[in-house]
């Protein structure tokens, strides 16, 4: 019996790829293990987005090669897709190299690998890979659903189009079928992902509703006014289709480019409380000159208006964003503009990173590169500003009750569990610590991984919230017990 271990890196989109790989390998008769020392096959599912992520992925390969000499090691994922030609000659530590253009080709690759070959398979980027996912690399109760692949925005700093290709969207009915299946298997929280959900259906070869590519809404470069709202966006129409599904669940959207944010989704969300007013919008900068240099058409004024529109529709909306400090040409004044922008929008959460110079991107050859030390200090400043804003916004949640999706129950005498409220996306936004009485039979039964409980927030910290258990949530009514496996559950039970 051949066992495989998958070492997962990168974003949620890469996680879905890893889950599809697990599904294909188990269908071939391989057995997944969570102990790399037991595995005859180790897959390093890499990230190739920025320098630090690339280093982390390669370090994982070198460590695996040194510690598990007996195993066949496959370098897979974004890094493999991007640098296959280089790695083929210069990375003997990898027994095989596998890109992410067509994950179904893993079947042939592992067969060739165990037949003594050193396969290098880099399929072209076409369509959006799907497949069986009976093992989710997440906590119980939540799943990601990929609705697009690739990106047409071509921001000057970004290597995603080089790795994942141009934008492609999944047919709407295929997405609906997957969401329905996940709900039937006990999933409560669906997180829609893609490089840019606003572009859903607008790829050159897309026909998500059977009528060809859809128009892409955008911000007018001169006026800063959002245009294109005369026709319903593909994203809004998809949300309406999901909204037609029965049952108790919640749906979150992740990654919407600010230059063509679909305002019509706000009206859809208003009509269905199951669709969360959570918006992940990567603004990247608050300085107009840098925004243009990033190949974006918006402005700090237009972006501030976008946030104002969202908060006008949903006063308690959760907004996450990303900033890139030290982009070529960023002056001290431009950096201060971004700080002022962050203060103006008061985002609940943000990621702030120093600019990473990526070869083959337009930004690579730009002049006036900012020294790494300065870029890091600017990023640190944004992190500090966001930390203060997050602390204040979390304090506004105190003394309110929320439905909390329990992710794990902490072992010990004290009744303690960790979960997330609707305004906290998986892995990136912090948690809610739920306290309950272990001697209370009903409470102990209610507080379980994948279940939803009602809890009252009693305190806040820099990132997390403390809450007291109130009751089982009515959102659990008619929810089926999970028929899926979850990686963290398996690891927990194996270690107990």
- What's the distance, CA 323 to chain centroid? 16
Using CA atoms, how far residue 389 sits from 322, 385, 395, in Å, is 14, 6, 10
pLDDT tens digits for the chain (496 residues)? 899 999 999 889 999 999 999 999 999 999 999 999 999 999 999 988 778 888 999 999 999 999 999 999 999 999 999 889 999 999 999 999 999 989 999 999 999 999 999 999 998 888 888 888 988 999 999 999 999 999 998 899 988 888 898 999 999 999 999 999 999 999 999 999 999 999 999 999 999 999 999 988 877 766 767 777 556 899 999 999 999 999 999 999 999 999 989 889 999 999 999 999 999 999 999 999 999 999 999 999 999 999 999 999 999 999 999 999 999 999 999 999 999 999 999 999 999 999 988 888 888 888 899 999 999 999 999 999 999 999 999 999 999 999 999 999 998 778 999 999 999 999 899 999 999 999 899 999 999 999 999 999 999 999 999 999 999 999 998 888 888 888 876 554 333 3
Whether 199 contacts 257, CB under 8 Å = yes
Which tokens sit at 159?
A: 């290597």
Q: Which two tokens stand for residue 455?
A: 């809890």
Listed in sequence order, the residues at least 6 apart from 362 whose beta carbon sits closer than 8 Å to its beta carbon are 154, 156, 295
């Amino acid at each position: 019996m051949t066992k495989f271990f998958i070492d997962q890196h990168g974003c949620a989109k890469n996680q879905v790829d890893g889950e599809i790989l697990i599904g294909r390998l188990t269908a071939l008769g391989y057995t997944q293990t969570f102990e790399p020392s037991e595995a005859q096959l180790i897959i390093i599912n890499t990230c190739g987005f920025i320098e630090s992520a690339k280093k982390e992925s390669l370090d994982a390969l070198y460590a695996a090669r040194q510690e598990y000499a007996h195993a066949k090691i496959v370098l897979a994922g974004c890094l493999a897709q991007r640098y296959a030609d280089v790695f083929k000659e210069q990375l003997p530590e990898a027994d095989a190299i596998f890109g992410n253009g067509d994950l179904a080709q893993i079947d042939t690759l592992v067969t060739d690998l165990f037949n003594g070959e050193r396969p290098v398979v880099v399929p072209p980027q076409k369509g959006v890979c799907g497949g069986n996912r009976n093992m989710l690399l997440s906590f119980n109760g939540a799943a990601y659903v990929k609705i697009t692949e690739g990106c047409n925005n071509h921001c000057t700093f970004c290597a995603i189009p080089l790795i994942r290709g141009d934008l492609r969207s999944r047919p709407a009915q295929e997405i609906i079928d997957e969401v329905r299946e996940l709900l039937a298997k006990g999933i409560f929280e669906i997180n829609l992902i893609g490089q840019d959900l606003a572009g859903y259906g607008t790829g050159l070869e897309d026909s998500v509703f059977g009528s060809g590519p859809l128009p892409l809404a955008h911000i007018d470069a001169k006026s800063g006014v959002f245009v294109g709202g005369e026709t319903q966006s593909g994203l809004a129409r998809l949300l309406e289709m999901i909204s037609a599904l029965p049952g108790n669940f919640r749906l979150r959207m992740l990654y919407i480019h600010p230059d063509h944010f679909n305002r019509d989704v706000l009206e859809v969300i208003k009509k269905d409380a199951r669709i969360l007013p959570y918006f992940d919008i990567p603004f990247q900068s608050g300085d107009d000159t840098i925004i243009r240099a990033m190949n974006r058409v918006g402005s700090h004024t237009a972006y501030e208006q976008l946030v104002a529109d969202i908060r006008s529709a949903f006063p308690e909306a959760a907004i996450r964003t990303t900033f890139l400090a030290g982009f070529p040409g960023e002056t001290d004044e431009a950096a201060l503009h971004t700080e002022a922008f962050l203060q103006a929008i008061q985002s609940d959460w943000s990621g702030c990173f120093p600019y990473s110079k990526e070869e083959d991107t337009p930004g690579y050859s730009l002049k006036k590169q900012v020294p790494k030390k300065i870029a890091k200090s600017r990023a640190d400043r944004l992190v500090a500003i966001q930390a203060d804003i997050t602390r204040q916004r979390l304090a506004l949640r105190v003394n309110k009750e929320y439905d909390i999706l329990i992710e794990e129950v902490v072992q010990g005498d004290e009744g303690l569990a960790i979960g997330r409220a609707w305004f906290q996306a998986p892995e990136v936004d912090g948690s809610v610590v739920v306290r309950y009485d272990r001697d209370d039979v009903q409470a102990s039964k209610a507080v379980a991984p994948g279940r939803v409980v009602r809890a009252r927030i009693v305190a806040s910290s820099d990132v997390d919230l403390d809450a007291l258990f109130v009751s089982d949530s009515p959102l659990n009514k008619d929810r089926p017990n999970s028929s899926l496996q979850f990686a963290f559950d398996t690891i927990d039970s194996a270690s107990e």
